[in-house]
Structure 1
Amino acid sequence: MILTAPDLAHILEFAEASHLRSQADAFRTWSGDTRARAVAVCGGVAVLTDPAFGRKLNHVTGAGMDAPFKASELAELESMYAAQELETQIDLCPHAHGGTLALLAERGYAVNAFSNTYVRSLAVPDADRAAASGIEVSDDQAWVGARFAVHSVAGFSVQAVNRPPALLEALAQIALHRDDTRFFAASIDGQIAGTAGMSLIDTPAGLLAHLYIASTLPAWRGRGVQLALLHARLKAARSAGCTLASVTARPANASARNTERAGFSLAYTKATFSKRPA
C-alpha cells in the first residue's frame, strides 16, 4: 500500500492537470473549436470546451496545491464559465492548501461529487499478469487505432449514467489525437470486447502512466475484459520506463473495483466544489 504523502499528491495532481490540458488541446485540434482552451490557474488548469459536454471537459483540476486561490482568480474563473452558461467546478485535492476551503465557502461553493485518485507502483513484478483464459489483448497501434473509436463509443454507450453520444465520440477522437496515448483492445473469440488508452506523462518524478478511456462492450461484461486491459497497460507502462501508474474513477463503480483488483491503492478522494452562474 502506498502512503500518500504531500510529495506524491503533488505528482499525481501535476499529472492529472497535464492530462486534462492535453484533452483540451486535442479536442481543439480535432474539432477546430476555437472556444476550447486550457487556462493555467493557481498551479493547476481550468479547461473549457463545448458547453454541451458538461463537467467532463469543463472543469478545474490540480489547482491550489502550493498556495490558496485568490478571490480575484476565482472571480475570473466564474466569469469564464458563466460566459458559456456553465457551473464553475473545481476538483480539489485534500492535500491542497487549506486556505482555499474558506474562500470557496465564502463565495458560495458546494460539494456536488467525489472522485477517487488511484496510484500503483510499477517497481514490483506482479504488475505483469496474463489475461484470463480466452481473452487476447493487442497493442498493435495501427490495428487498434483504426478500430478504437467505434468500439470505445459502443462500450460507453450503456452505462449507469449515460453520456451524450457526441461526448463519447469526442472523447474517443481526443484520445486518438493525443501523441502521448497508446491504445489497447481485448478480444474474445476473435471479436473486440473492450478497448482502453494509456497516456505517458512526464512529471517532476519521472514518467507516469495515466490509464483512461477504458470500456467494455455490453455483450462481454463480466468476463474479465477490463482487468485484462489494466494488466496489459501496466506491463506496457513498465516497459516504457514508468515507475508509477494512476487512474481516476468515481467511488464504488465498476472501474474503481477493477482498479483495486489490479493492485492500485486509493491515494485520496477529491471533492468537486461547484458554483452555478449568477
Structure 2
Amino acid sequence: MLLTTLSTAQRLEEADILHLTRQVEACSKFFPDQKSQIISVGNGAAGITLPVFGRKLNHIVSYGMAGPVSTEDLAKAEEWYTEIGVDFTEIDLCPHADASAIQVLNSRGYSVNGFINQYARALTDEDLEEAEVPGMTILRLPADRAHEFPAMSLAGYKDNGRLPLLLETLGRIAVFREDTSLYFAMVDGKVAGSAGMALIKTSKGGVAHMYIDSTLPEYRGRGIQAALLKARMADARKAGYDLASVGARPQNGSSRNIERAGFSLAYAKTTFVKVHK
C-alpha cells in the first residue's frame, strides 16, 4: 500500500506540471497563430491554449505546493485567461498545498466545481508480469504506425460529448511527445482500445504517468483498460520506474478499473473555479 507523504505528493504534482507543460508546448507547435504558453502561478503552472479547449488544456496545477501564494499572482492569471477569451479560471488543488492557497481562493471568490482522484502505485518487479486476456494482444505502437493513434483514440472517446478538435489534438500531442509511449489493445486483429504512458523525470524521482486511455464502444466491459494498464506498468518497471500515476473523476468506470489494477487513491484534488464576469 502506498502512503502519500508530502514528498510523494510533491513528486506527483511536479509531474503534473511537466505533463501540462509538454501538452501546451505541443499546442504551440500545432497552432502557431495562437498564444499557447505556460505561466508560473503560485509556484505551479497555468496552461493557456485555445479557448475552445476549455479546462482540459486551460487550467492551473500544483498551485501552492512550494509554499505561500499571493492574491496578486492569482489575479494576474485571471487576467491572462480573460484576455485570451477563456471565461473562467480553474485550479486543481492538491490537499497538500500550503494553507494560504485556500485563503487566497476564498478571497478571490472561487467555488468548488468538482474533484479529481489522483491515483498512484508503487511499482515492483511483480509488475513485470502482464495480464493475459484470451483473444487480446497489446501492441507497443512502432514509430511507423504512430500516425494511427489520434484517430483510434478519438474513436474510443466519440460518445463522451467532448469537442472532436480537442480529442484529436490530445491524440496528436501524445504522438508528438518524446516522453510518451503509445499502445493499442488488439482483438481479432482490430484495434479495441488505445492508451499512452509518459515517463516523466522530476526532481524527486520518476513518475510513469498513464493517460489518454480510450476503448471503442463495442469492446467495453472486456478488460481492455485493465490490460493496457498492466502492459504500461510492466514497461515502466522495465525502464526502472518505481511509481506510476493516473487521474480520474470519482465514481466512474475508469476509477473502478484503476483501483482493480492495484492503484491506491493518493489524494483527491479539489477543482476550484471562478467565472469571469
TM-score (norm 1): 0.96
What is the aligned partner in structure 1 of residue 124 from structure 2? Answer: 123
1:183-222 paired onto structure 2 within 5 Å: 183-222=182-221
| Cα contact 1:88–1:276 (8 A) shared by 2 | yes
Unaligned runs of 5+ in 1: none
1:7-18 paired onto structure 2 within 5 Å: 7-18=7-18
Distance 2:264 2:231 in 1: 18
| Residues 247-278 of structure 1 deviation map (CA, whole Å, 9 limit, x = unaligned) | 01111111111111111000000011111113
> Aligned-pair distance for 1:32?
2.1
Unaligned runs of 5+ in 2: none
Q: Which amino acid counterpart does residue 72 of structure 1 have in structure 2?
A: E
Q: Which moved more, 1:126-135 or 1:96-105?
A: 126-135
Distance 1:50 1:255 in 2: 27
Distance 2:142 2:260 in 1: 26
Q: Which moved more, 1:136-145 or 1:175-184?
A: 136-145
Q: Which amino acid counterpart does residue 8 of structure 1 have in structure 2?
A: T
| Residues 205-242 of structure 1 deviation map (CA, whole Å, 9 limit, x = unaligned) | 32211000010001111111110100000011111111
What is the aligned partner in structure 1 of residue 107 from structure 2? Answer: 106
Q: Which moved more, 1:250-259 or 1:143-152?
A: 143-152
**Residues 277 and 109 of structure 1, relative CA distance in 2, 3 Å threshold:** same
| Cα contact 2:47–2:60 (8 A) shared by 1 | yes
SS of 2:91's partner is strand
Q: Which runs of 4+ in 1 moved over 6 A?
A: none
What is the aligned partner in structure 2 of residue 155 from structure 1? Answer: 156
SS of 1:268's partner is strand
What is the aligned partner in structure 2 of residue 177 from structure 1? Answer: 176
Q: Which amino acid counterpart does residue 155 of structure 1 have in structure 2?
A: G
> Aligned-pair distance for 1:139?
0.4
Q: Which amino acid counterpart does residue 24 of structure 1 have in structure 2?
A: V
> Structure 1 residue 95 and structure 2 residue 96: aligned?
yes
Q: CA RMSD for the aligned pairs?
A: 1.2
Distance 1:267 1:130 in 2: 24
What is the aligned partner in structure 2 of residue 80 from structure 1? Answer: 80
Distance 2:83 2:3 in 1: 41
> Aligned-pair distance for 1:33?
3.8
The alignment-based identity, stated in percent, is: 46
> Aligned-pair distance for 1:128?
2.4
**Residues 239 and 124 of structure 1, relative CA distance in 2, 3 Å threshold:** closer
Count of residue correspondences: 276
| Cα contact 1:128–1:234 (8 A) shared by 2 | no
What is the aligned partner in structure 2 of residue 63 from structure 1? Answer: 63
**Residues 247 and 33 of structure 1, relative CA distance in 2, 3 Å threshold:** farther
What is the aligned partner in structure 2 of residue 270 from structure 1? Answer: 269
What is the aligned partner in structure 2 of residue 257 from structure 1? Answer: 256
